Amino acid sequence: MADDMSSVARFLYEAGTLKATARTGWWMAGVRDPESVAEHSWRTALIATIIATLEGADPARAAFLATWHDTQETRTGDVNYLGRRYAPQADPEAVTADQVAGMPDILASAIRDVVAEYEAKSTPEALCASDADKLECMIQGVEYKSQGYENAQRWIANSRGRIKTKAGQELADAVLATGTLDWLRAALGEPKH
């Protein structure tokens, strides 16, 4: 069992590298210091719970799927959309299988299954997690645009167009109609602008 847990411990250190792995697509929009994959994944998991709850799916499962959706990027890096035209995309399930090798079977199997479910997009929870991934990118684009990165509009529009669930679409529309600091104004009791 100690060897099995050593594999888990190694993976936890590996997963930590996502905190320093930049989301590279934002560089094309001119963002000098883009969010990390870990930052993206955190908000994606949060959004997945919201969309799943509104869609009548299991929010915990959707968050679980969203949490694991980019973990393979510890091995591949974040390959942006343009880069995929020139470099073959690694199979997330194959990368995951390598990442979990040596872990206790029950854990390795659960992780492989969750990645396979996300990639197949065949369950309501996987669809909610996928929409959360797109919505998080859209929100980040809105935030970057509000910081002066006008080129982020391309990511906003592309992400919005890829959201499939009704709740995800409604939430996207609400996000686009809401200012990035409206939460602070509401918390302080200030009027909307």
* CATH code of the domain in which 32 resides: 1.10.3210.10
pLDDT of residue 26: 94
In a domain, 193, yes or no: no
- Give the pLDDT score at 2: 58
Tokens found for residue 71 = 């973990």
30 inside domain = yes
142 confidence band (pLDDT: 50, 70, 90): very high
Question: Does residue 120 form part of some domain?
Answer: yes
Determine, yes or no, domain membership for 34: yes
Structure tokens at 34: 């883009």
Confidence of residue 193 (pLDDT cuts 50, 70, 90): low
Q: At what angle do helices 37-55 and 124-146 cross, to 10 degrees?
A: 130
* Both tokens assigned to 59: 């929010």
Query: What b/e sequence results for 59-84 when a residue is b if at least 16 CB atoms lie within 10 Å of its CB, and e otherwise?
Result: bebbbbbbbbbbbbbbeebbbeeeee
List the alpha helices (DSSP H) in 56-123: 59-68, 73-76, 92-100, 105-120
User: For the chain, first and last CA: distance in Å?
Assistant: 59
Binning pLDDT at 50, 70 and 90, where does residue 5 land? Answer: very high
C-alpha triplet 68, 14, 31: angle, nearest 5°: 75
In a domain, 170, yes or no: yes
pLDDT of residue 4: 84
Give the global pTM: 0.94
* DSSP designation for 50: H
- What value does the mean pLDDT take over residues 167-172? 98
Residue 6 makes CB contacts below 8 A (sequence gap 6+) with: 102
In a domain, residue 181? The reply is yes
With residues binned 3-state (H G I as helix, E B as strand, rest as coil), the percentages for the chain, rounded to 5, are 70, 0, 30
DSSP code, position 123: S
pLDDT recorded at residue 157: 98
Number of domains in the chain: 1
Would you state the pLDDT for residue 3? Answer: 62
Domain that holds residue 141: 2-188
- Mean pLDDT, residues 51-74 taken together: 97
Q: Is residue 20 part of a domain?
A: yes
Q: What percent of the chain has pLDDT over 90?
A: 89
- pLDDT average, residue stretch 9-30: 95
**pLDDT mean over 162-177:** 98
